[in-house]
Copies of this chain bind each other. A is one copy, B any other.
Amino acid sequence: MGIHERKEREKERRKEEILDAAQRVFFEKGLNSATMDEIAEAAELSKATLYLHFVSKEDLYLAVAIRGLGIAHELFKEAIDGGTTIVEKLNGVKKAYTTLFNTHRNYFRMFSFFQTPQFHKQVSDAMKDAFRVESNKNWEMIISFFARGVSEKRIRNDFDPVEMAIVIWSNAASLMSRIDSEAEVWKYRRNIDLNKTLETSFRLLIEAILTPEARLEYAELLRDEEKHIQFK
């Protein structure tokens, strides 16, 4: 009796099709300017059908954002699995986050949207939970990596690894969102390159949490990277 399974698969595929369409429209127009009619047309379905799969426009938006969390997860996983030492991995995570920002800008914007309290009212609890679960996977990975760094004595043990992760993360996120919306203003009015500021703050905070020996290794790694850049 595979009919039920097939139906299930088809339903799932339809959902993905809707998500594909919604993603295209949301990426282009953002949450507010995108309309459900546009998404329906992009999906080649009637608007009412969208509501058979998602309870609201905001729900649909969040479902697209969850895809972004998956991409982020892969980037972080690659970074942590890729590096040989804790310091290398940490630098890799930093780069992964920068990549997320630079090459998946649309997803990045969606994530910050989830923060605004405005947003939450119109989203189903189920979708909110789904988002939190995915988001949590990413935090879990980062936090356990930090904890490992502490146990291997490469990251200071006089701060909570969770707190260190939150601080570094939040700092980067807020600078990035400032870059996204205000980079030209700062460049023009005060001749500040916020991208450089982001790099600097990353360096400051990473140095602040490393143990003295790890800090030396990190300095060396940065010197090597510098050299690499000069050669290209």
Closest chain B residue to A159 by CB distance? B200
- Chain B residues whose C-beta falls within 8 Å of the C-beta of A197 in the assembled complex: 163, 166-167
Q: How many copies does the complex hold?
A: 2
Q: Is the CB of B160 within 8 A of A192?
A: yes
How long is the Cα–Cα vector from A123 to B173 in the complex, in angstroms?
A: 25
Instruction: Decide if B185 touches A178 in the complex (CB within 8 Å).
Output: no
What DSSP secondary structure best describes chain A's contact surface? helix
List of B residues within 8 angstroms of A32 by Cβ = 118
Q: Tell me whether A194 and B175 are in contact (CB under 8 A).
A: no
By the criterion CB–CB under 8 Å, are A178 and B166 in contact? yes
- Bound: A184/B166 CA distance, A: 15
CA distance A221 to B159 in the complex (A): 21
**Any B CB within 8 A of the CB of A85:** no
Q: Looking at the assembled complex, report how far the CB atom of A60 sits from the nearest CB atom of chain B, in whole angstroms.
A: 16
Interface 9-residue window, one of A12-20, A108-116, A223-231: A108-116
Q: Is A6 an interface residue (CB 8 A)?
A: no
Specify which of A166, A192, A197, A208 lies most central, judged by the most chain B CB atoms within 10 Å of its CB: A166
Cα A118 to Cα B181 in complex, Å, equals: 11
Instruction: Report if A222 contacts B (CB, 8 A).
Output: no
Q: Would you give 6 A-B contacts (Cβ < 8 Å), ordered by A?
A: A116-B181, A120-B181, A163-B200, A167-B171, A170-B175, A204-B208
List residues of chain A with CB under 8 Å of any chain B CB.
30-33, 109, 112-113, 115-118, 120-121, 132, 136, 143, 159-160, 162-163, 166-167, 170-171, 173-175, 177-178, 180-181, 185-186, 189-190, 192, 194, 196-197, 200-201, 204, 208
